[in-house]
Amino acid sequence: MYNNPRRRKLVPQQIVVQTTERLWLESFVKYLAGECHLADNTVEAYHRDMKHFWEWRDDRMIAHLTISDLADYVDWLHKRNLAPATLARHIVTLRLFYRYLQLEGILQTNPAELLGSQKLWERIPCVLSPKQVDRLLTAPWVGDPYWQRDRALLEFLYATGCRASELAHLTMHDVHIDEKYCLCTGKGNKQRLVHLGKRAIDAFREWVADEHQGRDRLIDKYGESNYVFLTYRGKRMRRERIWDLVKKYAGRAGISSDISPHTMRHSFATHMLAAGADLRQVQEMLGHASIATTQIYTHIDMSRLKQVHEKYHPRG
């Protein structure tokens, strides 16, 4: 904890200030959801970031914090061994919060704008090799409970580049097997069409039709449900469960347990570009609003080419 354990007692005026500042936070969260139209998961992440900020600042008034204070906060976050991407998001959250206070006329200046750029904390995401992906996709074994569901789930993650939350909300109406595509709903309720390959389609059909543990069997047992991926109780699978399954099968496949559903998304994009796909096409399939977000995958592929050149070229 950053806070002094012998915290001084607040005077009534400080209590009033802290109550007011707490209202600022509540209004900020509503602003993110209502006016910025951010996805629920994004709003929740920003809200968690602000709780860290509240923990760090103790009883200091937000209006009195300087750029030096905020730099101390970033250093405090850094000492908590956060991933670079997570640290970058904390900085973005703080900037948004101070910008909101400016828009509301609460503050005249925004010291958070002077914090280091997010690019300083950017890292190239983890990407699996094609052989690692093959091992992961075949990790669910015949005889595992609902192994057809798990294999279809992994195939869909890699075939579509979907986020875990997008896959969790995928419905049967979104999957068009005959036309070989599915409709993904991403951040801000933006929809996009993504092609489905033969392996993903075959895995989907096996999951839906299996007589003993397939999706249709669960529907017969528990009633109507429109979601593609269900729990053994016939309910929609939550994204946290998807994370757990990816980690489970990654361990079985001998792959680092640090991977997540987003690793499959990164691998999807990188392998597409490495095979010659156009950057704009990959942007559309991932649902990125800006091509600048997609360009990080070209850096990954270039680093791979550099390694190949250094290893095999006579003057590498």
Asked whether residue 178 is assigned to any structural domain, the reply reads: yes
Domain housing 26? 12-121
Whether 110 and 151 map to the same domain: the answer is: no
- Give me the pLDDT at residue 92, please: 87
Asked whether residue 3 is assigned to any structural domain, the reply reads: no
Q: Are 144 and 253 in contact (CB under 8 A)?
A: no
- Of 121, 154, 183, which residue is a domain's last? 121
Whether 162 and 247 map to the same domain: the answer is: yes
Whether 149 and 264 map to the same domain: the answer is: yes
Whether 99 and 173 map to the same domain: the answer is: no
Strand segments, DSSP code E, in the chain are: 175-176, 181-185, 191-195
Up-side HSE of residue 73: CA atoms within 13 Å toward CB? 29
- Tell me the mean pLDDT in the region 195-205: 93
Whether 85 and 166 map to the same domain: the answer is: no
Q: Give the active site residues.
A: 163, 187, 262, 265, 288, 297
Asked whether residue 2 is assigned to any structural domain, the reply reads: no
Whether 167 and 294 map to the same domain: the answer is: yes
Sheet containing strand 181-185, edge to edge, reads: 175-176, 181-185, 191-195
Question: Considering its fold, how many domains does the chain have in total?
Answer: 2
Whether 177 and 272 map to the same domain: the answer is: yes
Stated pTM of the model: 0.63
- Give me the pLDDT at residue 132, please: 92
- Tell me the mean pLDDT in the region 203-232: 83
Whether 104 and 180 map to the same domain: the answer is: no
Q: Who has greater pLDDT, 221 or 62?
A: 62
- Of 75, 90, 121, which residue is a domain's last? 121
Q: Over 80: is that where the pLDDT of 300 sits?
A: no
- Of 93, 121, 149, which residue is a domain's last? 121
- The tens digit of pLDDT for each residue in 132-168 reads 999 999 999 988 889 999 999 999 999 999 999 999 9
CATH code of 166's domain: 1.10.443.10
| CA 228 – CA 316 distance, rounded (Å) | 49
Show the CA angle centred on residue 284, arms to residues 150 and 258, nearest 5°: 40
Mean pLDDT of the chain: 82
Whether 144 and 217 map to the same domain: the answer is: yes
| CA 295 – CA 275 distance, rounded (Å) | 15
Whether 36 and 168 map to the same domain: the answer is: no
Whether 222 and 117 map to the same domain: the answer is: no
Asked whether residue 70 is assigned to any structural domain, the reply reads: yes
| CA 187 – CA 293 distance, rounded (Å) | 14
Asked whether residue 1 is assigned to any structural domain, the reply reads: no
CATH code of 30's domain: 1.10.150.130
Q: What percent of the chain has pLDDT over 90?
A: 32
Asked whether residue 4 is assigned to any structural domain, the reply reads: no
Asked whether residue 202 is assigned to any structural domain, the reply reads: yes
Q: Over 90: is that where the pLDDT of 50 sits?
A: yes
Whether 155 and 260 map to the same domain: the answer is: yes
Q: Confidence class of residue 6 from pLDDT cuts 50, 70 and 90?
A: very low
| CA 293 – CA 119 distance, rounded (Å) | 11
Asked whether residue 54 is assigned to any structural domain, the reply reads: yes
Q: Are 260 and 249 in contact (CB under 8 A)?
A: no
